[in-house]
Chain A
Amino acid sequence: MRFTIFQDSRLGDRKGNEDRVGYSYSRDVLLMVIADGMGGHERGEVAAEIAVNEITRRFRQEARNRLRRPFEFLVSAIQSAHRAIVSHAVEHNLLECPRTTCVACIVQNGRAFWAHAGDSRLYILRSGTLIAATSDHSKVQQMIDAGEITAEAASRHPDRNKIFSCLGGVVPPVIDTGQDVALEVGDTVMLSTDGFWAQISAGVLGSMLRKQTVVDLLPGLLTEAQRRAQGESDNLSVVAMTWENQDDPRVADTQSMDDTEFATSTNTTEQLDSKGAVIAEDVTDEDIERAIAEIQSAIKKVPR
């Protein structure tokens, strides 16, 4: 795979950064993930950190070769991140379970697959145009969908930060998956938190990406996004990848990696102790049949 990748997370005008962002790739598969820990909830950054660490950990465990079912992987990894957050809260006797949004994207075989919960976004931009995007799990998005308010009014709506799906909540997250997209040369897949997307529209982003690469453009655009928030900027995070000409020798090719190697980069502060995290391996039909056979043989063996 040949691609160019950029990520950054900025504090904005806040005291702490509750955003976590990361990517990881092997020879054939790329993962990008962003989590926005929720302010107002105890230790939002803990939830975001667990989410990025857990999803990255699952990726490194399962993506040595191409993923057989990328959507299933994404959903199951996000769910195990949710459970890990809940377990963390139980283990540390937290009064309130920390929460976070999450959006994660897998690229393999030249196709992008993604899943999300909450209002962190994924955009796919092609030739300056938005060709795919997540739909926020937010109250204002529901109002827009119902035709009650315009997108313009939503950006100023007092409830614009209210979301109905997140990891770490009392109810399991609503996780939506997108229709996978076959990437063309020059396509950019970008994940961002609301601190960024609320200030920079997809239209602006698209037109600027026609002239500049993600690596050249995004550092300045992050600064611009913070400036636009006029001293009240939320944490801002992006991770963006541009799909390159797969035959262009000037762009690094993951083909040079050996098949057990992973390149990983995140802004998480520590590798959290994964003990206590609930690890749900996929249970297959064969596992079920085997368990039943074992139980039945045990029933027969023990004298009644």
Chain B
Amino acid sequence: MPQQANQPLPAGYVLNGYRIEKPLSSGGFSIVYLARDETGTPFAIKEYLPSSLPLRTEGVEVQLTDESNVAMFRHGLKCFFEEGRALAMISHPNVVRVENFFRANETCYMVMQYVRGRTLQFHIQRHRHEFTEAFIRRIFIHLMNGLREVHSSKLLHLDIKPANIFIAMEGRPVLLDFGAARITLSEEAMKLKPMYTAGFAAPEHYRFKPEELGPWSDIYSVGATIYTCIAGTPPQAGDQREEKDRIIPLRTLARQEYSEDLYQIVDDCLQLEFMKRPQTAYELQRRLMNEPGSEKRGFLETINRPLSKLFSR
């Protein structure tokens, strides 16, 4: 994670009616805080603050001293607005909800619903040996509900990875961080610099040919995420695979038994040629729901079970 050189807002600071409690995380372009409104309801507030620019060495105001920084700062704001726009359009239990968006301290803030839980990345690091096939299928079947919603709003997430999937206390996966999201068919959004995470981005994403990007690009990332759940490490990066494909077969990395069907699903999602992948989140969801061998599990049965039970075998 890139270092944030900038000062976080101090605890107790009241921002537009929200009292800051503490920073939750910080990344290359933002700091996320836990904050509460007057009624005590918790929220996650994301503050736009590019870490590469020295913007706040003291106090709370963001200070743009260098005129060359102004252009960079404002350019980055565009991406932040894209994220706000993307999230504002969606209301779904498997997608983080944005509640408010405002300008203050010479920068912008996005107020999001606060979800108690941990990222999938955290669980992979701590509990990978406990990731049963049932657990993986369940998480991703639900996540596909959220992704279907995203795609049906004509959006692509474009940065799906374990760190951007939150597992709420009750076991519900929530898709986070739409910082790379793009509104498809919008010229403007497609001009923005592509962002990606090695290992999770589809090969066409590296080429940055907007016309090749589609739901199948997010499907590749979902495949890479399932791969990571089983293998513990992400697959070889998509751009390198195109040069020389040395992806390690998932079967050889698994620490427990998974069905041939699940391996096949992951392989299909990770196809270099995007036409060979499941083309939609719905198609992938159907395949995940079709667990062979085991008696058909009721879809509704999987909802609202405590996480501890999901892990048990």
Give A residues with C-beta under 8 Å from B.
Answer: 71-72, 75-76, 79, 83, 87, 90-91, 93, 172, 175, 177, 276, 278-280, 282-283, 288-289, 291-292, 294-296, 298-299, 302-304
In the complex, A66→B241 CA distance in Å? 50
Contact A87 B91 (CB under 8 A): no
Q: Is the CB of A295 within 8 A of B101?
A: yes
With a cutoff of 8 Å between Cβ atoms, the chain A residues found around residue B243 in the complex are 93
10 pairs across A/B with beta carbons < 8 Å? A87-B208, A91-B208, A93-B206, A278-B192, A288-B103, A295-B85, A296-B88, A299-B88, A299-B98, A299-B99
Pick from A71, A278, A291, A292: contact of B193, CB below 8 A.
A278
In angstroms, Cα B19 to Cα A162, docked, is 50
B88 and A295 within 8 A (CB): yes
Contact A172 B89 (CB under 8 A): no
Per CB-CB distance, the 6 closest pairs between chain A and chain B, nearest first, are A298-B88, A283-B74, A291-B81, A295-B84, A295-B101, A280-B75
A280 touches B89 (CB 8 A): no
| Chain B contact patch, size range | 20 to 34
In addition to A291-B85, A295-B101, 19 A-B residue pairs with Cβ atoms within 8 Å of each other are A71-B67, A72-B71, A75-B71, A83-B193, A87-B208, A172-B52, A278-B192, A278-B193, A279-B191, A283-B78, A288-B103, A291-B84, A295-B85, A296-B102, A299-B98, A299-B99, A299-B100, A299-B101, A302-B91
Q: B90, A79: Cβ atoms under 8 Å?
A: no
Known: A91-B207, A172-B72. A303 touches B91 (CB 8 A): yes
Asked if residues A282 and B88 are in contact (CB atoms below 8 Å), the reply is no
A280 nearest CB neighbor, chain B only: B75
Q: Cβ of A279: which chain B residues have Cβ within 8 Å of it?
A: 191
B91 touches A288 (CB 8 A): no
Chain B residues within 8 Å of A276, by CB? 208
Contacts of B91 in A (CB 8 A): 302-304
CB distance from A182 to the nearest CB of B (A): 21
A83 to B88, CA, bound (A): 29
List residues of chain B with CB under 8 Å of any chain A CB.
52, 67-68, 71-72, 74-75, 77-78, 81, 84-85, 88-91, 97-103, 108, 191-194, 206-208, 239, 243
Chain B residues with Cβ below 8 Å from A278 are: 191-193
Residues of B within 8 A of A177 (CB): 67
A278 to B79: give the CA distance in the assembly, Å.
13
A304 to B100, CA, bound (A): 12
Determine how close the nearest CB of chain A comes to the CB of B239; give it in whole angstroms. Answer: 6
Complexed CA–CA distance, A279 and B71 (Å): 12
| Partner among A282, A296, A302, A304 whose Cβ is within 8 Å of the Cβ of B71 | A282
A72 to B70: give the CA distance in the assembly, Å.
9
Bound-complex Cα distance A75 to B72 (A): 10
**Best-buried of B75, B91, B193, B207 by chain A (most CB within 10 Å):** B75
- B207/A282 in contact, CB under 8 A: no
Cβ contact within 8 Å between B97 and A75: no
Report chain B residues within 8 Å CB of A87: 193, 208
The interface residues of chain A lying within 8 Å CB-to-CB of B208 are: 87, 90-91, 276
Q: Contacts of B194 on A, CB cut-off 8 Å?
A: 90
* B81 engages A76 (CB within 8 Å): no
Chain A residues with Cβ below 8 Å from B84 are 291, 295
